[in-house]
Amino acid sequence: MDRKNTNDDIASQLVFRADINFSDDDLSEEAKAQFTYHNEVLSVFQLNARIVLSNDRLSPTGRHLFCTKLEKEYKNYKSVLNYVAMHPENKIKTQAIHSPLILCGLPRTGTTLLFNLLACDPACRAPLLMDILHPIPPIARSDNDNQAQRNLFSSETSAMMDALGLANY
């Protein structure tokens, strides 16, 4: 059996999603009390979902990926709020947080090079991709076991994207 037939078999077994369910049931009461702006953020997530999903030119695969990605982002958002609410010792109380440096740019314009150069500075901490995708709980760079677990999840996600025919997505 060739690879294309295998991918077709896997894709035919998938159930594509067409809607998003946002729920704050797993948001702790402490987080709700500390972060009163949560309802505003939830309404922005819902608005974003309504706007994108109302586009009739979105393919079933694109709709499925969007639903999955947006729900994952909302879950990460709630995980961060819960973590901060449960670990008040991690809050910075005496030192002002300076604005972060956010790099963005078109492909082939040097953003990756600049990111890597800034990451070489010991005074800076550049997030790894898995730190961005799975921010909670924070994992120290020296924690090889948990880093390996995140890398395994990443390879599983890549396999799923490959099965959908989206290896380069």
Tens digits of per-residue pLDDT, 11-63? 566 677 778 888 888 899 999 999 999 999 999 999 989 888 888 888 888 88
Domain check: are 65 and 103 in the same one?
Answer: no
Who's near 91: CB < 8 A, 6+ residues apart?
84
**pTM listed for this prediction:** 0.62
Residue-level pLDDT at 8: 59
Residue 147 located in a structural domain: yes
Domain check: are 133 and 68 in the same one?
Answer: no
Query: Would you say 27 and 78 are in contact if contact means Cβ atoms under 8 Å apart?
Result: yes
pLDDT surpassing 60 at residue 72: yes
Residue 6 located in a structural domain: no
Query: Would you say 24 and 38 are in contact if contact means Cβ atoms under 8 Å apart?
Result: yes
Compute CA distances 18 → 66, 76, 106, 161, whole Å: 9, 21, 30, 17
Mean pLDDT of 85-96: 74
Helices (H) and strands (E) in the chain, counts: 7, 0
Residue-level pLDDT at 40: 92
Mean pLDDT of 56-73: 87
Q: How far apart are CA 91 and CA 161, in angstroms?
A: 37
Report the number of distinct structural domains present in the chain.
Answer: 2
Domain check: are 61 and 75 in the same one?
Answer: yes
Residue 5 located in a structural domain: no
Residue-level pLDDT at 92: 65
